[in-house]
């Protein structure tokens, strides 16, 4: 669980991440949530774990197989994989306990029966048989398998049944007769039929059946010459990372296209199987497909349970978690023009509490404004059929110069980014592609305008955010964004785009922005040291850091040092956190994790600074990759009212005693439940706070 550096301890990155994912699973246990809200967290947990195996576990296996060259040794990779397997197997047992002992009984109390058998009730037998024959059977392609089978390839992220049977012609003559088994593999046709089938309602109850079980119920008709003995679900996860040497010259798009094809046939990283499968059956399958013991992960009767997000809800909204609608901002609605509003003052947008529509209005106004000369924007992850992209295309068609930096290497968004980039190029938008060896993760846009009024300074506008230009994730990710016309900040943003456009390490000085690989790390260290100095001078030192991940050992060491020197530190870290609390050198550090209806995604850095209070919003986590291998930005909040609002929001999160957990030295999540009569569920409380501010 721990790595060591001198006297300091650090949690292993991947074991820490598993602690976060277990916290997601804990939400499925929360009986105060509506049942479909709890089911959603089962789905999220499974989806998270899928990606974890495709990327992180595959990375460790690559080290062992000498495919990846990192600081990690083969022995370290093997030890970490053993820890991962042990913890995942423990969590999988918890997962199925929650599913069978808590979720299914609660569904039944709501008169919703999710079949757990391939034997339908008599009143459903005809429906199941007819549905199978008409909707499923045409898409099945079973394959007989045998030991050492090299013809059959098991796709990743697909659900399969393995079937064991004996020929009907074999007669059992003796009591000790050993049957000659035959085996088959069959892919569930997930793209042709839904995972869950709603059956006819009966006696006031709703019935739902896994497509897996509908197929199981009809196996005899698929294999008419055999007696089916048993069947079990299996699934495989494969290495989905894309290894591209983009330091050298060459067409990055072509390299990406070629490597995306390889993603489907990547090396094995997990073989999940039904834990009730007999040992000899499992041994045969492992032998047939060359699956090693270290690849095995316990599963249950049903795999791919991220599909639970699609479980039909015949009762409607009453069984789902209510999410408050995004708020309008009266000041912006009344003033009409986004530009006029930003000229008056900086504006903070807080998604999804407030509407993402204001960003679209900002870009559309730029697209139509005759004074707009140029729009520059970064693209990391955008929605499919993106309204943001459509607005930029509109701007180009209106004669504006539009420049978009597209990060092609955004994992799992490579294809979408390539297609949207091509669409924009066709519309006349200038596209700048990925920088070799780096990812650009900054979320910034700038509107450059003509100066038509003599004697007046030109007014440009900027948008800086902690999250992507993505209207879909803005409904579920909690992010903050700043709209400003501050000339010095805009000058800094223009220098960031100069770096992106010129693709070289320009020597530059940023007045306000902190930019990774330039001044971000030195300035952060200076601010930490300043808090230490205030304490040594008899004052008070205070740091609050909110982010998604904390992994960089150098920055953790700085926080350990600050704690040793008496600086009070609160960390609000949703995901990976490698800092170990409750040690002598971390006695002044508390770690809070919040998991609720929205994904906590904003990065906020607060330094007390002897009462002057410096506050930054950022696109960057304190991960090694963010601070050293990406272009990231952090921007200061200079407006005193906005600054106070964000500080108040941070304090609301620190007061959360409903959905917040402390992380202890064993990576356990301990709810901050207390005896206070006032219950603070921070996401609800933030919504009410912003509603009152309206």
Q: List, for residues 468-507, the tens digit of each pLDDT value.
A: 999 999 999 999 999 999 999 999 999 999 998 886 566 7
pLDDT above 90 for 380? no
Phi, psi dihedral angles at 461 (to 5 degrees): -135, 150
Q: How many helices (H) and strands (E) does the chain have?
A: 21, 30
Band of residue 452 on the pLDDT scale cut at 50, 70, 90 = low
Q: How many CB atoms lie within 10 A of CB 454?
A: 5
Band of residue 410 on the pLDDT scale cut at 50, 70, 90 = low
Q: What is the pLDDT of residue 185?
A: 94
Q: How many CB atoms lie within 10 A of CB 179?
A: 13
Q: What is the pLDDT of residue 504?
A: 59
Band of residue 213 on the pLDDT scale cut at 50, 70, 90 = very high
Q: List, for residues 497-546, the tens digit of each pLDDT value.
A: 999 888 656 677 899 999 999 999 999 999 999 999 999 999 999 999 99
Q: What is the pLDDT of residue 416?
A: 78
Q: Averaged over 248-269, what is the pLDDT?
A: 62
pLDDT above 70 for 662? yes
- Answer yes or no: same fold for 330-509 and 515-693: yes
Q: Which residue has the higher pLDDT, 167 or 606?
A: 606
DSSP state of 57: I
Give the DSSP letter string of 329-341: -HHHHHH--HHHH
pLDDT above 70 for 390? yes
Q: What is the pLDDT of residue 1?
A: 75
Q: Yes or no: say if 356 and 390 are a contact pair by the CB < 8 Å rule.
A: no
Q: What is the pLDDT of residue 156?
A: 81
pLDDT above 90 for 633? yes
Q: List, for residues 424-440, the tens digit of each pLDDT value.
A: 999 999 998 877 778 88
Q: List, for residues 33-89, the tens digit of each pLDDT value.
A: 999 999 999 999 999 999 999 889 988 988 887 666 567 888 999 999 999 999 999
Taking the CA atoms of 53, 50, 477 and 100 in sequence, report the sign of the dihedral they define.
Answer: negative
Domain edges within the chain: 34-319, 330-509, 515-693
Q: Which H helix or E strand runs over 19?
A: helix 13-27
Q: List, for residues 544-559, the tens digit of each pLDDT value.
A: 999 999 999 999 999 9
CA 585 to CA 487: how far, in whole Å? 42
Alpha helices in 369-413 (DSSP H): 387-397
Q: What is the pLDDT of residue 155?
A: 84
CA 663 to CA 666: how far, in whole Å? 8
Closest CA to 474 of 310, 601, 333: 601
Q: Which residue has the higher pLDDT, 7 or 391?
A: 391
Cβ-based neighbours of 117, under 8 Å, separated by 6 or more? 213
Three-state DSSP class for 180?
coil
Which segment of 128-132, 354-358, 624-628 scores lowest on mean pLDDT? 624-628
- Paired with 403 in beta bridges are 376, 430
Angle at 178 between CA 172 and CA 182, to 5 degrees: 95
Residues serving a catalytic function are 441
CA distances from 51 to 21, 28, 78, 93 (A): 12, 20, 19, 19
Band of residue 169 on the pLDDT scale cut at 50, 70, 90 = confident
pLDDT above 90 for 247? no
CA atoms within 13 A of residue 557's CA, in its CB half-sphere:
9
Average pLDDT, the chain: 91
Q: List, for residues 563-594, the tens digit of each pLDDT value.
A: 999 999 999 999 999 999 999 999 999 999 99
- Paired with 611 in beta bridges are none
Q: What is the pLDDT of residue 694?
A: 73
Closest CA to 471 of 355, 322, 601, 393: 355
The tokens describing 98, both together, are 């929650």
pLDDT above 90 for 151? no
pTM: predicted TM-score of the whole model, two decimal places: 0.92
Q: Averaged over 182-199, what is the pLDDT?
A: 93
Any idea which fold 34-319 has? polyphosphate kinase like (3.30.1840)
CA 356 to CA 340: how far, in whole Å? 18
CA distances from 189 to 11, 41, 133 (A): 41, 25, 14
CATH superfamily of 515-693: Endonuclease Chain A (3.30.870.10)
Three-state DSSP class for 383?
coil
Any idea which fold 330-509 has? Endonuclease; Chain A (3.30.870)
């Amino acid at each position: 669980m721990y790595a060591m550096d001198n006297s300091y301890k650090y949690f292993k990155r991947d074991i820490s991440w598993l602690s976060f994912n277990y916290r997601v699973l804990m939400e499925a246990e929360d009986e105060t949530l509506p049942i479909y809200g709890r089911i959603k967290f089962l789905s999220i947990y499974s989806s998270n774990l899928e990606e974890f195996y495709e990327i992180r576990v595959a990375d460790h296996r690559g080290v062992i197989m000498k495919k990846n060259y990192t600081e990690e040794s083969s022995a370290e990779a093997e030890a970490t994989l053993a820890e991962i397997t042990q913890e995942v197997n423990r969590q999988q047992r918890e997962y199925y306990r929650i599913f069978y002992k808590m979720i299914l009984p609660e569904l039944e109390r709501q008169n919703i029966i999710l079949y757990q058998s391939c034997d339908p009730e008599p009143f459903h037998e005809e429906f199941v048989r007819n549905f199978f024959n008409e909707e499923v059977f045409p898409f099945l392609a079973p394959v007989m398998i045998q030991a050492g089978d090299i013809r059959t390839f098991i796709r990743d992220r697909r659900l399969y049944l393995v079937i064991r049977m004996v020929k009907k012609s074999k007669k059992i003559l003796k009591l000790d007769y050993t049957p000659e088994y035959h085996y088959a593999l069959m892919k569930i046709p997930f793209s042709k039929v839904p995972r869950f089938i709603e059956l006819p309602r009966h006696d006031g109850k709703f019935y739902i059946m896994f497509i897996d079980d509908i197929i199981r119920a009809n196996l005899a008709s698929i294999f008419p010459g055999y007696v089916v003995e048993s069947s079990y679900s299996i699934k495989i996860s494969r290495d989905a990372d894309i290894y591209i040497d983009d330091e050298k010259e060459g067409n990055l798009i072509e390299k990406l296209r070629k490597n995306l094809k390889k993603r489907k046939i990547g090396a094995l990283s997990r073989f999940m199987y039904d834990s009730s499968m007999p040992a000899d059956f499992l041994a045969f399958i492992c032998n047939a497909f060359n699956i090693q013991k270290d690849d095995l992960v316990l599963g249950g009767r049903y795999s791919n349970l991220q599909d639970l997000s699609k479980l039909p809800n015949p009762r409607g909204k009453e069984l789902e978690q209510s999410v408050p609608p995004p708020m309008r901002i009266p000041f912006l609605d009344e003033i009409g023009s986004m530009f006029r509003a930003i000229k008056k003052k900086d504006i903070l947008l807080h998604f999804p509490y407030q509407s993402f529509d204001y960003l679209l209005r900002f870009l559309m106004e730029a697209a139509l404004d005759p004074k707009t000369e140029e729009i520059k924007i970064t693209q990391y992850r955008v929605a499919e059929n993106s309204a943001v992209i459509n607005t930029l295309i509109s701007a180009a068609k209106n004669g504006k110069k539009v420049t978009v930096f597209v990060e092609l290497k955004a994992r799992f968004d490579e294809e979408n980014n390539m297609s949207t980039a091509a669409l924009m190029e066709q519309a006349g938008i200038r596209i700048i592609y990925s920088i070799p060896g780096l990812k650009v993760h900054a979320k910034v846009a700038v509107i450059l305008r003509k100066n038509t009024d003599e004697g007046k300074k030109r007014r440009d506008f900027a948008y800086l955010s902690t999250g992507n230009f993505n209207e879909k994730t803005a409904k579920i990710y909690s992010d903050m964004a700043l709209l400003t016309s501050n000339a010095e900040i805009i000058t800094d943003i223009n220098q960031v785009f100069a770096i992106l456009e010129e693709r070289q390490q320009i020597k530059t000085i940023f007045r306000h922005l902190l930019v990774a690989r330039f001044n971000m790390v030195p300035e952060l260290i200076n601010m930490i040291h300043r808090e230490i100095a205030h304490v040594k001078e008899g004052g008070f030192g205070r740091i609050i850091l909110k982010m998604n991940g904390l992994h960089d050992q150098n920055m953790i060491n700085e926080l350990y040092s600050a704690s040793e020197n008496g600086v009070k530190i609160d960390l609000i870290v949703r995901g990976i956190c490698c800092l170990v609390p409750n040690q002598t050198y971390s006695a002044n550090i508390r770690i809070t994790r919040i998991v609720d209806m929205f994904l906590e995604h904003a990065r906020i850095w607060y330094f007390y600074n002897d009462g002057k209070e410096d506050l930054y919003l950022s696109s960057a986590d304190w991960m090694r990759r963010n601070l050293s291998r990406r272009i990231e930005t952090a921007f200061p909040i200079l407006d005193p009212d906005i600054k106070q609002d964000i500080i108040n929001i941070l304090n609301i999160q620190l007061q959360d005693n409903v959905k917040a957990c402390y992380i202890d030295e064993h990576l356990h999540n301990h709810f901050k439940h207390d005896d206070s009569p006032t219950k603070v569920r921070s996401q609800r409380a933030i919504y009410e706070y912003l509603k009152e501010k309206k």
